Amino acid sequence: MTDQDIGDGTRAVRAGLPEPVKYEPTLPGPVFAAHFHLPGEPTGPYTYGRDENPTWTRLERAIGELEAPGEDVETLVFASGMAAISAVLLSQLKAGDTVVLPADGYQALPLLHEQLQAYGIQVRTAPTGADAQLSVLDGAGLLWIESPSNPGLDVCDIRRLVQRAHSVGTLVAVDNTLATPLGQRPLALGADFSVASDTKGMTGHGDILLGHVTCRDSRRAAEVRRWRKIVGAIPGPMEAWLAHRSLATLQLRIDRQCSTALLLARVLAERDDVTGLRYPGLPGDPSHAVASQQMRRFGPVVSFELADRKRAERFLEELRFVDDATSFGGVRSSAERRGRWGGDAVTEGFIRFSVGAEDPEDLIGDVLRALDKAGSAG
Ligand SMILES: *Cc1c(COP(=O)(O)O)cnc(C)c1O
């Protein structure tokens, strides 16, 4: 049996574990060290805590095994998703280069957009849907994809975009936060970088900020590593260890979240008071055909619209098993009125709903009751 043949659950529980050592734990605890004993020549693997840490090494191996089973890839962990994203963009681009960003990507991307421009990098944007980024690729050094997009849940054909980008010498990075490597493997779709905020579904408990970059090319990896060293956006050993521990349940969590998300989407599709429903796993969703070609699981996020701001706020207040909170991918369901942040192009009644690990009957019952209550309010 090769590494490619084993199932996702088996891979997740064993990912990144060291060879068994008598009297040692299965997953050794976090190594708290600013520096390591280092007599003589200062060669690695462990010299100084900003450069390397054995707890990161194990987590990086684990993530690499999930991103590209059986392949030789390099993964670097970061203090947050934004640290990982910035590391790729800022290590790969220089003044005079052009980058293509999604127009409907994560809400902090516009800040990066401004920063890149301030550094003399030309930025073009186009929406994720209908592969619109294809039309602005000419001469770009890097294409940044976010699919499914957050919070609109549009999907682009990653293979198609990669093929075109590579044919004109453009590198491709995919923000894979929403799908996680169990939902989508950007490197297998041809991308040069798979990047994610592991704050979300990857760690799944809403208690850690973390990010990672995985790539095949060791020269590119060295550039990203150098950036991490310069900026120092490194995760603490405790966070890295908690993340590794959380990966063991990744398949359990994601499978539960995705199956309940589909049930919820089906139920919401029947309601007159719900419009603009989006879930890539829902047959009939505008993203479904392309998503089915490149995704193995469709993610925990369902989005929809209620009539107006008041109705949406009332709905969120009425929910008993769902936290009114931002972020997504956690074991506890959360939802928010996305318009409250002001950054996304969404209507006042737009809800981003993240499905947790609750019993589906409880969760769906709660949502239906809250919708009824929100609708009956005077
Ligand atoms: C949350 C998120 C980020 C940023 O991650 P942090 O860990 O909060 O820095 C980036 N991209 C997407 C798609 C996200 O959802």
Domain CATH number, residue 342: 3.90.1150.10
Other Cβ atoms within 10 Å of 324 Cβ, number: 14
| 101-121 CB burial, b ≥16 within 10 A, e <16 | bbbbbbeebeebbeebeeeeb
Helix ranges (DSSP H) in the chain = 8-14, 54-67, 81-92, 109-118, 158-167, 218-231, 237-247, 250-269, 288-294, 309-318, 360-376
199 within ligand 1 shell (Cβ under 6 A): yes
Reading the chain (378 residues) residue by residue, the pLDDT tens digits are 677 789 999 999 999 999 999 999 999 999 999 999 999 999 989 999 999 999 999 999 999 999 999 999 999 999 999 999 999 999 999 999 999 999 999 999 999 999 999 999 999 999 999 999 999 999 999 999 999 998 999 999 999 999 999 999 999 999 999 999 999 999 999 999 999 999 999 999 999 999 999 999 999 999 999 999 999 999 999 999 999 999 999 999 999 999 999 999 999 999 999 999 999 999 999 999 999 999 999 999 999 999 999 999 999 999 999 999 999 999 999 999 999 998 778 999 999 999 999 999 999 999 999 999 999 965
- Find out whether 196 and 174 touch, Cβ atoms under 8 Å: no
Pick from 205, 177, 203: which is nearest to 299 by CA?
Answer: 177
**Ligand 1 pocket, 338 CB below 6 A?**
no
As a residue count, the chain comes to: 378
Gap from CA of 326 to ligand 1 centroid (Å): 11
328 CA closest ligand 1 atom index: 15
Domain's final residue, options 229, 247, 265: 247
| C-alpha span between 69 and 232 (Å, rounded) | 29
Whether pTM exceeds 0.95? yes
Residues 264 and 350 in one domain: yes
Residue nearest to atom 5 of ligand 1 (CA): 81
211 CB near ligand 1 (under 6 Å): yes
Task: Tell me, in angstroms, the distance from the centre of ligand 1 to residue 82's CA.
Answer: 6
The candidate with the shortest Cα–Cα distance to 243, out of 79, 106, 82, is 79
Nearest CA to ligand 1 atom 2: 197
Is the same domain home to 130 and 242? yes
| pLDDT confidence of residue 135 | 97
Amino acid at 30: P
Clarify whether residues 322 and 240 are in a common domain: no
CA distance to 73, 163, 217, per residue, from 159 (Å): 19, 6, 18
Q: Say if residue 243 is in the same domain as residue 260.
A: no
Q: Which atom of ligand 1 is nearest to the CA of 146?
A: 13
- What domain range includes position 119? 3-247
Q: At what angle do helices 81-92 and 218-231 cross, to 10 degrees?
A: 120
| 320 shares its domain with 278 | yes
The residue among 255, 259, 261, 243 whose CA lies nearest residue 205 is 243
Ligand 1 pocket, residue 147 CB under 6 Å: no
Number of domains in the chain: 2
d(CA 307, CA 311): 6
As given in the structure block, the two tokens for residue 304 are 């929809």
**83 and 151 inside one domain:** yes
Same structural domain, 222 and 322: no
Backbone angles phi and psi of 212, in degrees to 5: -150, 160
177 Cα nearest atom in ligand 1:
13
In short, whether 239's Cβ falls inside 6 Å of ligand 1 is no
Kindly state whether residues 126 and 12 are assigned to the same domain.
yes
Q: How far is the CA of 33 from the centre of ligand 1 (A)?
A: 27
Q: What is the pLDDT of residue 378?
A: 55
Same domain, 223 and 337: no
Residues 181 and 284 in one domain: no
CATH number at 148 reads 3.40.640.10
Q: Are residues 370 and 294 in the same domain?
A: yes
Same domain, 285 and 342: yes
146 pocket-lining for ligand 1 (C-beta < 6 Å): yes
Q: Which of 156, 199, 209 to mutate to test the pocket of ligand 1 (most atoms within 8 A of CB)?
A: 199
Return the half-sphere exposure (C-beta side, CA atoms, 13 A cut-off) of residue 290. 18
Q: Is the CB of 198 under 6 A from ligand 1?
A: no
Identify the domain boundary among 200, 232, 247: 247
For the Cβ of 183 lying below 6 angstroms from any atom of ligand 1, the answer is: no
Facing residues of 350 across strands? 305
Q: What local confidence, expressed as pLDDT, does residue 5 receive?
A: 85
**Mutational pocket test of ligand 1: of 82, 207, 341, the residue with most ligand atoms within 8 Å of the beta carbon:** 82
Q: Which atom of ligand 1 has the smallest separation from the CA of 327?
A: 1
Omega cis (within 30) before 45: yes
DSSP per position, 288-352: HHHHHHH-SS--SEEEEE-SSHHHHHHHHHH-SSSEE-S----SS-EEEEGGGGS-S---TTEEE
Report the nearest atom of ligand 1 relative to the CA of 198. 7
Question: In a mutational test of the pocket of ligand 1, which residue from 107, 156, 200 has the highest number of ligand atoms less than 8 Å from its CB?
Answer: 200
Q: Which residue's C-alpha comes closest to atom 1 of ligand 1?
A: 197
Q: Does the beta carbon of 150 sit less than 6 angstroms from any atom of ligand 1?
A: yes
User: Which distant-in-sequence residues (6+ apart) come within 8 Å of 96 by Cβ?
Assistant: 120, 121, 122
Instruction: Please say which residue of 226, 247, 268 terminates a domain.
Output: 247
Output the CA 328–ligand 1 centroid distance in Å: 10
Calpha distance 33→184 (Å, rounded): 34
DSSP single-letter state for residue 102 = E
